[in-house]
Amino acid sequence: MIEVKIGDISRLDVPVDAIVNAANSALIPGGGVDGALNRAAGPKLKQAMASIGGTPTGTAVITPAFELPANYVIHAVGPRYIDGKHKEEALLYSAYEAVYRLAHEYKLHTIAVPVLSAGIYGYPKEGAARILCEVADRRENQEITTQVIAFEESWLAIFDKIRQSDSK
């Protein structure tokens, strides 16, 4: 089940089992979602990320959530969008698939997810949202409640458009 909400993923009203971080491959805290989660979680999250030492684009790793309203943070690395001809779509699918593999492995029931790669990494918003929906809607992932947390209201129309085209 997918729910789309507008808000700050680092300040959820209701705790979830895991929050997905839009991480970089070095797992060094940056800006956007990554920076917000690290500020809210406290310095132990940065230390936990550093202890892993990095993860390639298209993968995900998991750490405790520390001061965040969750048990875990899943650090997923989406691709930087170049022109759509450099395996960006396959890498974005792979990143979301890695998130759900970890969710199954850790027996998670609720996850809060940003739309990976659609911010400073420049992935076209509708394409990034569609890939998230496709992976979340797979039969094996339907038992996991996915809360898509978007920062801007414009995302609501994008997800509505995807839902309408899927119901046809």
Tokens of 55: 């993860």
Identify the H or E element spanning 52: helix 43-52
* Residue tagged active-site, from 8, 34, 160, 166: 34
Identify the H or E element spanning 92: helix 88-105
Helix axes 125-136, 88-105, angle to 10 degrees: 40
Could you confirm whether 83 is annotated as catalytic?
Answer: no
Question: What are 3's strand-pairing partners?
Answer: 147
Q: Provide Rg for the chain, Cα atoms.
A: 15
Dist. CA 77–CA 117, nearest whole Å: 8
* CA separation, residue 121 to residues 34, 117, 125 (Å): 13, 5, 11
Dist. CA 37–CA 20, nearest whole Å: 9
Residues designated as active site: 34
